[in-house]
Amino acid sequence: MIALNCLAPAVLSLALQAGTSAAPAGDLDSMLPVRPWVTLAADVEGGLCDPGETVRFTATVENRADAVARVTVGWSAESLAFEPELPAPEVLEVPPRGTATAVLPLVLVGPGFMDVTVSVLEEGSTRPRVRWRRVGCAPAGIQYELSRASDFEAFWERTLEELAAVDSEVELREVPGEPGDDFKLSEVTLRSLGGVRVRGWLQVPRSEGPHAAVLRVPGYTENMQPIDAVGNRIVFSFNIRGHGGSVQDVPAEPVDYWLRGLEDKDDYFYRGAYMDCVRAMDYLCSRDDVDQDRLAVWGASQGGGLAFATAALDPRVDICLADIPWLCHWRGLMTLLIDQDVKDLAAWLAADPGRSRASALETLSYFDTMNLADRITCRTLMGVGLQDAICPPETSFGTFNRVKGEKDFRIYEDQGHGLAAEHYSWALAGLAEVLGPAEGG
């Protein structure tokens, strides 16, 4: 659909130049050439193989036209763990209304992931069909070298001390609820690192406490909102600086959080963001109706990284749920960055000759949750989508595998940057094991 939308203006322009009327929208497909369709599959169950196993990637080219299609098939692969040998491009003749296949066998010799891309270019065309597929091998065995500087621990101890010196100045604004709500709703405002005001939505059960508490933290640009029901748990849906209602002191625009202050670790955006999460936990622990032996942090994407960081920097956390987590293994992520991130980083580097990729990685190393992970001693659950192109699972496991506490993970073979309902059933069951059942939720 994206390719069609991009091509449509050019087709209509050509029709007008030829002195004809533009075709009605419903007839647009008839003006376009019938191009081969391509699918890519891997013959490994669940998307994961054993070390030394050969995985066969099969590209199937379907010719939907009434004439033979000649196509050139090329392969590429990307991995943080493997350097595969790839064949030269090959030419296939696909019969009318028929199919042809190209097969790429690869051996994954040890723990890691492999991203394989096939490009199929029809003779006479300039636009290839491109498909990609990721498989993994023994992910629990992945280990990447840490990038911690000699002052890493001192940096975080100093940062936590700076936060502790800031008075929370708690403001609580009660919000009228709906008839039948099982909770009382309030908007909470706190002061965090640097005196920055941050906010969240607090839902407290009407039943007698103390209650287990769940801190929900946001994805990139996400505006955390109250949930529909809380059962017998306190839920704090919290927005770090620059997100949701926490924009009074740190603006939401431009959306460049991961580049803000990258010149200096003391000014970097995530120094404050991580402390915002610790300050939110401070607030929960200050409440008499919170059971401080049953505390959870849960987030996805950026929120998954924030959950890791919170559990690492705050030993009061009893269970950490990090879904499709970001902010993990930055050196690896910089290798696998998606197109928009590459462009954003290039623009940041070009804006100041004193900036470099090396200096960026030096700052990022202080906020890499992989470098923080050995401080996580609580139970930790992680879910990842194997086909996630935004938060690649190879980076997520860089952090997860260094967690010291009891842990478990789920990999969903066909999921990208998002997880299905089955994952949340599993995660909620794990949450109940630590917090107790969510009665009435």
Catalytic status, residue 301: yes
Instruction: Report d(CA 73, CA 128) in Å as an integer.
Output: 9
Number of residues written out for the chain? 441
Residue 140 is classified by DSSP as G
Catalytic status, residue 417: yes
Instruction: Report d(CA 375, CA 144) in Å as an integer.
Output: 17
Q: Where are the alpha helices (DSSP H) in 170-301?
A: 269-286
Instruction: Report d(CA 216, CA 292) in Å as an integer.
Output: 16
In 95-166, DSSP assigns E strands to 99-108, 112-122, 129-137
Report the Cα 37 to chain-centroid distance in Å: 29
Instruction: Report d(CA 122, CA 371) in Å as an integer.
Output: 46
Of 192, 368, 388, 423, which is the active-site residue? Answer: 388
Contact 284, 290 (CB under 8 A): yes
Catalytic status, residue 30: no
Radius of gyration of the chain (CA): 25
Amino acid at 306: L
Instruction: Report d(CA 57, CA 135) in Å as an integer.
Output: 10
Contact 395, 142 (CB under 8 A): no
Of 301, 365, 368, 423, which is the active-site residue? Answer: 301
What is the tally of helices (H) and strands (E) in the chain? 11, 17
Contact 335, 80 (CB under 8 A): yes
Of 125, 344, 359, 417, which is the active-site residue? Answer: 417
Contact 160, 192 (CB under 8 A): no
Question: What CA–CA distances, in Å, run from 237 to 218, 284, 386?
Answer: 8, 12, 27
Torsion-angle region of residue 329: left (phi > 0), alpha (psi -120 to 50) or beta? left
End-to-end CA distance of the chain: 40
**Active site amino acids:** 301, 388, 417
